[in-house]
Structure 1
Amino acid sequence: RQQLPHLAHYDGRCTSRATPKKRALIIIALVVILAIHARLLITNNLSRFTQTKKSITAETVLLEDLGVFKLPSGLQEPPHMSDLDPNVLIEVGRKDIDAVHSEALIHIGAWIFVTDADGLFLLIQRGPELVTCPNAWGIVGEHTTPDEEPIETAKRGISEELGDDLLDEIKSIQNLTETPQYLVFDWGHRVDRQLTYIWHAQLGKRHEDLHLVLDDEVANHKWLDMDKLKKQLRKEINGTHEVFCVPTETEYYVNMINTTKLPPER
C-alpha cells in the first residue's frame, strides 16, 4: 500500500521540541501556580488557627474558676439590693461556676445597661438552653474572673455578648452606685449571691448604625426608650407581660440612669 508522503517517516515519537524561551515560560508558570497554591494553604491554616485560638480563649474564660468570698465573722448577711463595700469580703478560694451557685457562695459580677446615642436601652433575650431565666429578657451580665478589675468585667461582658466592635463605640461607661450591690436570688435549683457592679455604658452611635455580633447564648435583642421599658417592666412586675429576668431590680436601677441624647457624630 502506498504511504502518504507526510506520514512516511512517522515513528511514534514527538519530533517537536520546546525552545529555551518556551521552557522558561513553562517553568515560570509552574512556579506561579505553586506559589498561589502555597499561599492558599497558608491562609486557610492561619484562618483555622485563629478560629481555634478564639474558641479556646472563649472556652478558657467561660470555664475559668470564679473567686469566692465570705463575710467576716460577726457581720450579718446584708439584705438583697444593699450597698456592700467589697473590701470587707474575705477571699476563700476559687470554684467553678456550677459549684459557686449550687453552694450559694458569694462571688463578684457586673450588670451593664447599654444605651445608644438616642438614649434607647438595649435588651437581650436569653437563650432557651440557659439554666437561669431561659427565654427571658434582660440586660448584659457577666461574672468577674480572678484578678480582673470591675471595669474589665463590664467591657468583657459587652464584647462577649454583643461583639468586639461595640467596645469601640462606647462613649462613656460609669457606675450607677457608689458601692457595688449585694444581690441574692433564690432560683430554687440554685442560689445566686453576687456582689454586683452596676454599669451604664452609653454608645456614641444610634442603634441603626451599630454592628452587633450576638453571643450564642443570646437569642434576640431589641431597643426601647425609657418610657416603654418602664411600662413593660411594670407590667411584668404585675404579672401581665412577657417574661423579664429580675424585673423589679432592673426597674430600680433603670431609674438611676440619665439618658441624655448625644449629638450626632461628625
Structure 2
Amino acid sequence: LEAPSGPMPTTWTSKSRIHALCLLILGLLWVYHIHARSPHMEHIHYYNVSDFNTPLGIQSIDVVHRQGLAHKGVWVHVLNNKFQVLLVRRSPKLRTCPNRLALIGEHVEPSDKDFEHTVRRGLMEEILSPSELADVGDVQHLYTKLLTLQYPGNVRTDVQLTWFGYLLYNKSITEVELNASEAAPHARFYDLGEALSMARARPSDFCLGEYLDILYTDAWEMLCKRFRPPSCPAA
C-alpha cells in the first residue's frame, strides 16, 4: 500500500482547543483593558447645574463633553518639598491642548468616594506608582468653581463643578516619570515665581490659557502667600 500523498489532516485535540480558547480570552481581555481606560470610554455622572448632589444619569466622557453636560472634576497643584509646582507637558498628538503645559486634572468617576479620592486616583494613573503615593501628604482644598470651559477649535466643552486643591509631595525631585507617557510625556517642577512669570508672559503656552487666573495664577498667588518661598514676588 502506498502512503497517502499531500498534507496530513489536522486534528484538534481537547488540549489544543482549550489552549486556543485561553489565548482568545486573553486577547479579548487585553482589548477590553485598553478601551475601558480610554477617556472616551470612561463613564461619569452628569447633573443639573443647580444640583450637584443628585446625578441625572451616567454617560461616556465623550458624550458629556460633546453635549456640554454638567459634571464634576478636580484640578490639583502638586508641590514638592521646595514648594515648586508640577506642570506636565501634554503630548502634541492630543486633540485638547496639544503640547501645552497643564496641571493634573481628573473627572470624578462614579466609584470615587470624594474629591480627595479622585485626586489620589489621578496621581496614581498619571504620575505616581502605588509605593510613591505614600510620599504624598494630605490633599488640601483651595476653592471650588462652576466653570464653563470652551476648548480651542470647539473640540470640547466642559461644564464642570471644579474642585481646586493642592498637596505636598515629600520629595525634592525636579523631574517626574509619568505613567501616562502617551498623554503627557514630560513633567517637571517649577518655582512658583517662575510659573507665575511664565503664565503671565506666555498664557498661550498653557492649556486653557484663556482662563489663566482661575485655573493657575489665582492658586499660585494663594500658595505664595501660604508658604512664602523665595521665588515668589514680594507681597
TM-score in terms of structure 1 length: 0.64
Residue equivalent to 1:75: none
Match of 1:116 among 80, 88, 104: 80
Residues of 2 paired with 1:55 and 1:207: CA distance?
Answer: 35
Residue 104 (structure 2) aligns with: 140
- My pick for the range that moved more, 244-253 or 104-113, is 244-253
Q: Please, which runs of 5 or more residues in structure 1 have no aligned partner?
A: 1-48, 73-84, 262-266
Partner of 1:227: 193
Shift of residue 58, structure 1, vs aligned partner: 6.7
Asked if the contact 2:96–2:155 (Cα under 8 Å) also holds between the matched residues in 1, the reply is no
Aligned twin of 2:44: 66
Following TM superposition, by how much is the alpha carbon of 1:147 offset from its aligned partner in structure 2, in angstroms? 3.6
Partner of 2:156: 190
Deviation at 1:166, TM superposition (A): 3.3
For residues 34 and 134 of structure 2, the distance between their equivalents in structure 1, rounded to whole angstroms, comes to 20
Residue 57 of structure 1 deviates from its aligned partner by 5.4
Match of 1:245 in 2: 207
Task: Name the CA distance, whole Å, in 1 between partners of 2:165 and 2:31.
Answer: 27
Question: 2:56 and 2:173 mapped to 1: Cα distance?
Answer: 42
Give the one of 130, 150, 162 matched to 2:115.
150
Larger Rg: 1
Rounded Cα–Cα distance in structure 1 between residues aligned with 2:155 and 2:57: 23
- Aligned counterparts, 1:158-237, within 5 A: 158-164=123-129, 165-177=131-143, 180-187=144-151, 188-207=154-173, 212-215=177-180, 216-237=182-203
Matches within 5 A, 1:85-124: 86-87=52-53, 90-124=54-88
- Alpha carbons of 1:172 and 1:54: their partners in 2 closer, same or farther (altered >3 Å)? farther
Q: CA deviation at 1:71?
A: 2.8
Q: Which amino acid aligns with 2:120?
A: K
SS at match of 2:68: coil
Query: Would you identify which runs of 4 or more consecutive aligned residues in structure 1 move more than 2 Å?
Result: 52-64, 210-214, 258-261
Asked if structure 2 preserves the Cα contact closer than 8 Å seen for 1:181 and 1:197, the reply is yes
Distance apart, 1:97 and its partner CA: 0.9
The structure-2 alpha-carbon separation of the partners of 1:259 and 1:98, relative to structure 1 and needing over 3 Å to count, comes to same
Q: Give me the whole-angstrom Cα distance separating, in 2, the residues matched to 1:59 and 1:152.
A: 23
Aligned Cα RMSD in Å? 2.5
Residue aligned with 1:229, SS = helix
Unaligned runs of 5+ in 2: 1-25, 230-235
Using the alignment, how far apart are the partners of 2:122 and 2:30 within structure 1? 16
What are the superposed Cα offsets for residues 185-232 of structure 1, whole Å, 9 maximum, x if unpaired?
112232111111112010111115x86333121121122111100000
What fraction of aligned residue pairs are identical, expressed as a percent?
24
Structure 1 residue 116: Cα displacement:
0.4
* 1:186–1:168 distance in 2 versus 1, CA, 3 Å: same
Alpha-carbon distance in 2 for matches of 1:189, 1:163: 29
Mapped contact 1:230–1:251 kept (Cα < 8 A): yes
Letter in 1 for 2:208: V
Describe the SS at the equivalent of 1:112.
strand
Alpha-carbon separation, structure 2, partners of 1:200 and 1:55: 35
Which residue number in structure 1 is paired with residue 6 of structure 2? Answer: none
> For the Cα contact (< 8 Å) 2:70–2:161, is it kept in 1?
yes
The amino acid that maps onto 1:111 is W
Q: Distance in 2 between matches of 1:206 and 1:112?
A: 18
Deviation (angstroms), 1:253: 2.0
Looking at structure 2, the residues matched to 252 and 55 of structure 1 have their Cα atoms a distance apart, in angstroms, of 42
Tell me the TM-score normalised to structure 2 length.
0.72
* TM superposition shift of 1:246: 2.5
